[in-house]
Amino acid sequence: MGFPKASVRQPYSLDAIVDVAVNEFLNRGYDGTSMDDLARAAGISKSSFYHHISGKEQLLRLGVSRALDALFAVLDEPEATSGAHVDRVRHILRRTADVIVDKTPEVALLIRVRGNTETERWALERRREFDRTVVRLVRQAVRNGDIRSDVDPALLTRLLFGMVNSVVEWYQPGGRQTARQLADAVERVALTGMQAT
């Protein structure tokens, strides 16, 4: 199959190429996706692909960076940096649900990295950094008596964000639940279950 002539195809951008790569990595697995697969999916030649990027690992980094950048931006929001620690955890939990809805494919890709490449190891370390930040907030909320103390803060954080992260497997934009309803449900279930009695 030939590629469409530049005069008849839609122009493509690095963002569009990253979109294609994220979807191919999700469908085929990162290791199972070749540059030929990516070029074919984008409808451009492999040499045109290399005009934009150095290889598929760069595409993986750009894809997971979309999710990581959005998650770390949540940690910098005023509601996540000041106020009662339990309220900060609540805000981060709700906004993480928003990020997952907004960037479902990228978050799904981030969750699936296993550490086989330099980029995957970098992404895993960034995820751990995010988790450590939240664990510190949960630990302080426990000390303040706002969160139950009978569950280890690190375990509690893993359970909370494991629940939120599972949304990527089943959430359908335009489905029965809106993004707002999803965030409300996550907050109610998570915080009712972890608040001190």
Do 14-53 and 63-194 agree at the fold level? Answer: no
More confident residue, 176 or 140: 140
Instruction: Give pLDDT, residue 19.
Output: 96
d(C-alpha 185, C-alpha 168), whole Å: 15
Q: What is the mean pLDDT of the chain?
A: 88
Task: Mention every residue, 6+ apart, whose C-beta is less than 8 A from residue 178.
Answer: none
Domain boundaries, the chain: 14-53, 63-194
Domain 63-194: which CATH class? mainly alpha
- How many percent of the chain have pLDDT more than 90? 61
The answer on pLDDT for 178 being more than 50 is yes
Q: pTM of the predicted model, to two decimals?
A: 0.87
Q: pLDDT tens digit string along 29-76?
A: 999 999 999 999 998 888 887 888 888 999 999 999 999 999 999 999
Tell me the helix, strand and coil percentages in the chain, rounded to 5.
70, 0, 30
Q: Tell me how many helices (H) and strands (E) the chain has.
A: 10, 0
CATH 1.10.10.60, applies to 14-53 = yes
Instruction: Give pLDDT, residue 1.
Output: 43
Q: pLDDT tens digit string along 116-152?
A: 999 999 999 999 999 999 999 999 999 999 988 898 9
d(C-alpha 61, C-alpha 18), whole Å: 10
d(C-alpha 87, C-alpha 71), whole Å: 17
